[in-house]
Amino acid sequence: MNNSDLRERTKRFALNVVRFYVALPKTTESQVLGRQALRSGTSVGAHYREAQRAKSDADFISKIEGGLQELEETGYWLELLEDAAIAPPEKTAPLRREANELTAILVTVVKKAKNKPKSTP
């Protein structure tokens, strides 16, 4: 997967989270939990884009790891929405699956960046 594919995929994930949030019931608890998922789910792509402009390998790794944290958090909020019977599993499952796939991809990206040979000045 190249940079533009992952850039588009993280954007598509964010848009799917937005659509999911808009469809949630307007109860207080669903909106509070949904807003958390909205915030973290839309942050993944922002972290990835920031990483593309990183000033160093360490900065790149840090920004990608920030995206990984947001993916983990998104999964948590989706679990809560499902376990609280606010969102049915058939609505959360595709988002959780994509969060897991993006996590696997970003973990691989971080591992490659960490194992990249250091350039000597």
Percent of the chain at pLDDT > 70 equals: 97
- pLDDT value at residue 1: 64
Reported as a single tens digit per residue, the pLDDT across 5-24 is 999 999 999 999 999 999 99
Nearest CA to 37 among 14, 54, 3?
Answer: 14
Q: At what angle do helices 3-23 and 28-52 cross, to 10 degrees?
A: 170
Q: Is the model's pTM score more than 0.85?
A: yes
Q: Span 26-46, mean pLDDT?
A: 97
Q: Span 18-37, mean pLDDT?
A: 97
Counting DSSP H helices and E strands in the chain, the numbers are 4, 0
- pLDDT value at residue 52: 94
Q: Dmax of the chain from CA atoms?
A: 58
Mean pLDDT, all residues of the chain: 95
Give all domains of the chain, ordered by start, each with its CATH number.
Answer: 3-113 (1.20.1440.60)
Find out whether 54 and 63 touch, Cβ atoms under 8 Å: yes
Query: Binning pLDDT at 50, 70 and 90, where does residue 38 land?
Result: very high
Percent of the chain at pLDDT > 90 equals: 92
Q: Span 98-113, mean pLDDT?
A: 96
Place of tokens 């900065």: 59
Q: Span 44-58, mean pLDDT?
A: 96
Q: Span 33-57, mean pLDDT?
A: 97
- pLDDT value at residue 117: 79
